[in-house]
Amino acid sequence: MKQTFIDSINKWMNRKYDNTQISQWIKFAEERISEELRIADMMDIDVGILTNRRVLLPSDWKELDFVHYENGRSLEFKSRTEFYNLGEANAKNFYTITGNYIVVGGPIDSVNGLPIEISYYASVPPFVEEDTWLYTKYERLYMAATLVSASAFGVEDQRAVLWETEATNRINALNVEHLRARNSGSRLATKRTGFG
């Protein structure tokens, strides 16, 4: 399937480019999509065991969505300054991020460890021979982002502005759709301003 996509890029460009060059444009497109897109297909769940106050985040994490101990207690994010100013005892319901580590407050059982579960947005999967969710569900976005990458690296094409607009619009629309879906189960709270 990858060769089919590469052939499509060449058709859009009205020229034959080397597969290696196109593969590089695809990687750049994936990097951009990973940085800007936040949708349900990107979400993953992982469990880490805390034996001290920090644990390494998954290598593909881009942004955390929810953090809780497996016993159910959720943790709230604090900036590092706020977190460390709380002191260890007062920070038991909070976490912060330092580099690729999540750091939690409160006492930790260094012998048995404490399981912590995170839901997070992961990087998009790299394009390999098998179909990925990004290609099968969002081919138009994938194509536009790849063509933008090509135009950014010296491929002269007056359609570059159109490709950029398409990629940006698709990312924004999918992000908005995801936010709406995430909140679709929430009940709206309304204030009454009068009688009846």
Per-residue confidence (pLDDT) for residue 14, from 0 to 100 = 82
Alpha carbon 191 to its chain centroid, in Å, reads 35
Task: Taking residues 61-73, report their average pLDDT.
Answer: 91
Q: Which of 20-34, 84-98, 113-127, 146-160 has the lowest mean pLDDT?
A: 146-160
Domain ranges of the chain: 2-37+125-182, 41-122
Q: Percentage of the chain surpassing pLDDT 90?
A: 61
Per-residue confidence (pLDDT) for residue 177, from 0 to 100 = 94
Contacts of the segment 93-97: beta carbons below 8 A, 24+ positions apart: 95/67, 97/57, 97/64
Predicted confidence (pLDDT) per residue in 149-192, tens digit = 988 876 666 888 899 999 999 999 999 999 998 887 655 454 54
> Distance between CA atoms of 51 and 88, rounded to whole angstroms?
15
Stated pTM of the model? 0.84
Per-residue confidence (pLDDT) for residue 67, from 0 to 100 = 95
Going 89 to 94 to 98 to 103, the CA torsion angle's sign is positive
Q: Which of 27-41, 97-111, 177-191 has the lowest mean pLDDT?
A: 177-191
> Distance between CA atoms of 170 and 177, rounded to whole angstroms?
10
